[in-house]
Amino acid sequence: MKNLLLLLSMLLLLACGENKETDKAAPMHWDRDMCARCVMVISDRKNSVQVIENKSKKVYKFDDLGCMVIWAKDNSKDIKNSKVWVTDANTGEWIDAKKAFYTSGNVTPMAYGFSAYKSKENLSNTMTFDKVYKEILDK
């Protein structure tokens, strides 16, 4: 049991890291990095999120946008002054979460249902980051 707890603790620490640059997302170790909130392995390349804290440059990785929002609330994290990256649901490319366009009703790892897109072309009923953030908090 102790070995299992030690292993889980070590894996959780791997989910957090440091990134000297905030102008690009930190490297992701797919199927190895773990969500900072729910501790599930991050494998969905089209619904993942990263937060890079402004001052410390510490990186937190998430398997779903909903996990990031709840984690930020529970840990009193300042998302407005942090860099937030999210993967584009079409391409898997890391994009600025605060500039992305969002849709709801999607299949996501933790069933929050919000996916991000770099462009709103061919999308209807898109939402902003702030709107999605509020909707997740209101659930």
Q: Which residues of 17-28 are buried (b: 16+ CB within 10 A; e: fewer)?
A: bebeebeebbeb
**CB neighbour burial string for 103-129, b if at least 16 within 10 angstroms, e if fewer:** beeeebbbebbbbbbbeeeeeeebbeb
Q: Is 126 helix (H, G, I), strand (E, B) or coil?
A: coil
Bridge partners, residue 116, by sequence? 88, 102
Average pLDDT over residues 13-32: 71
Q: What is the pLDDT of residues 70-95, one digit of tens each?
A: 999 999 999 999 999 999 999 999 99
d(CA 130, CA 117): 15
Q: Which residue range(s) make up the domain with 66?
A: 2-138
Measured distance CA(55)–CA(135) in Å, rounded: 27
Structure token pair of residue 103: 């849709």
Read off the pLDDT of residues 95-132 as tens digits, 9 standing for 90 and up: 999 999 999 999 999 999 999 999 999 999 999 999 99
Number of domains in the chain: 1
End-to-end CA distance of the chain: 35
Question: Which one has a higher pLDDT value, 6 or 76?
Answer: 76
Confidence of residue 34 (pLDDT cuts 50, 70, 90): very high
Residue ranges with strand state E in 7-132: 16-18, 49-52, 58-62, 83-87, 94-96, 101-103, 115-117
